[in-house]
Amino acid sequence: MDTSRPEPQLSALYQELILDHYRRPRNKGTLEDATHSVSLNNPLCGDEIDLQLRVDGDVIKEARFIGRGCSISQASASMMTQLLKERTVPQAIALAERMSAMMQGDDGAARDKTLGDLRALAGVSKFPVRIKCALLPWNALTDAMKAGRG
């Protein structure tokens, strides 16, 4: 008896670009003049991220992260920090919503050029247990934005 779902391809998950961001993460480090700092971890698997932002007025000027975790969570953090620079807070929130939609299998989001390199992560939606990995840095971002407005 075969109860498995149609088989998602590993090659769709582990694209070259993802492995590149995993091995050479962009914006890894800390910010001395951060205005927002959020630490999140996934208690189930132990993935960790410390996200730091410098927001000037309504614009994200810098984004850095420190993290430990799988290729998906770390690549997602690296790509996210690249994309956040010079975005306004509402734009950042909109990106987080697009990312979340892409993880839920929204094809429109997966083709949305505003997501940049992150589109390489579209394949994660086929691996339900890994979606939380991809969204970990985005949840940190959302928390940071909420804290900023609160």
Partner 1 sequence: MLDVARIRADFPLLAQRENGHRLVYLDNAATTQKPQVVLDAIVDYYRTTNANVHRGAYDLAIRATEAYEAARAKVAAFVNAWAPEGVVFTRGTTEAINLVAGSYGRATLKAGDSVVVTGMDHHSNLVPWQILCQEKGATLRMVEITEDGRIDLSDFGRALERTPKIVAFPYVSNALGTVNPAAQLAKLAHAVGAVVVVDGAQSTPHLKVDVQALDCDFYALSGHKMLGPMGSGALVAKPDLLDAMPPYHGGGEMISRVWDDHSTYNKIPHKFEAGTPNVEGAVGLAAAITYLEGIGLDRIAEHEQALAAAAIEKLIQIEGVTVYGPHALGHRAGVVSFTYGDVHPHDIATILDRDGICIRAGHHCTQPLMRRLNVAATARASFYLYNGPDDVDALAGALVKAGALFGYVPA
Q: Which residues bind partner 1 (CB under 8 A)?
A: 1-4, 7, 10-11, 13-14, 19, 23, 44-48, 68-72, 127, 129-130, 133
Q: Please report how close the Cβ of residue 14 comes to partner 1 at its closest, in angstroms.
A: 6
Q: Please report how close the Cβ of residue 131 comes to partner 1 at its closest, in angstroms.
A: 12
Q: Of the two residues 11 and 33, which places its CB atom closer to partner 1 in the complex?
A: 11
Q: Of the two residues 61 and 132, which places its CB atom closer to partner 1 in the complex?
A: 132
Residue type, 29: G
- Contact between 52 and 64 under an 8 Å Cβ cutoff? The reply is yes
Q: Please report how close the Cβ of residue 61 comes to partner 1 at its closest, in angstroms.
A: 30
In sequence order, what are the beta bridge partners of 64? Answer: 52
Q: Please report how close the Cβ of residue 63 comes to partner 1 at its closest, in angstroms.
A: 22
Q: Please report how close the Cβ of residue 62 comes to partner 1 at its closest, in angstroms.
A: 26
Q: Of the two residues 46 and 90, which places its CB atom closer to partner 1 in the complex?
A: 46
Closest CA to 105 of 134, 84, 138, 77: 134
What separation in angstroms does the CA of 111 have from each of 105, 108, 139?
11, 5, 22
- Contact between 78 and 27 under an 8 Å Cβ cutoff? The reply is yes
Q: Of the two residues 14 and 93, which places its CB atom closer to partner 1 in the complex?
A: 14
Contacts with 41 (C-beta within 8 Å, 6 or more apart), sequence order: 47, 48, 49
Q: Of the two residues 15 and 37, which places its CB atom closer to partner 1 in the complex?
A: 15
- Contact between 127 and 103 under an 8 Å Cβ cutoff? The reply is no
